[in-house]
Amino acid sequence: MIADMFDLDAELVRLENKIDSLAAMCERLRDENQVLKSTLDEWMRERVQLSDKTEMAKSRVEAMISRLKSIGHE
């Protein structure tokens, strides 16, 4: 009977340790997920900026080509 109580206490301690470990892991994963989401948001903003810059450069090049063609026709 007493041995059963010790086994039960030991099992409860093991379960408590596992729960604490899982809770700590969840917290670490939550923090990591937040960092990853922030990084993704940053990359998405950078992507939009680069896309805008690419479009501006394309427009400039097209305008230069048009000017060069018009010079060539004169």
Res. 3: pLDDT tops 80 = no
> What local confidence, expressed as pLDDT, does residue 68 receive?
93
What share of the chain in percent tops pLDDT 90? 82
Alpha helices in 1-74 (DSSP H): 2-73
- Report the C-alpha gap between 9 and 11 in whole angstroms: 5
- Report the C-alpha gap between 14 and 8 in whole angstroms: 10
- Report the C-alpha gap between 43 and 54 in whole angstroms: 16
Q: Could you read off the pLDDT of 13-35 as tens digits, one per residue?
A: 999 999 999 999 999 999 999 99
- Report the C-alpha gap between 49 and 52 in whole angstroms: 5
The rounded Cα 68 to chain-centroid distance in angstroms is 45
Domain layout of the chain by residue ranges: 44-74
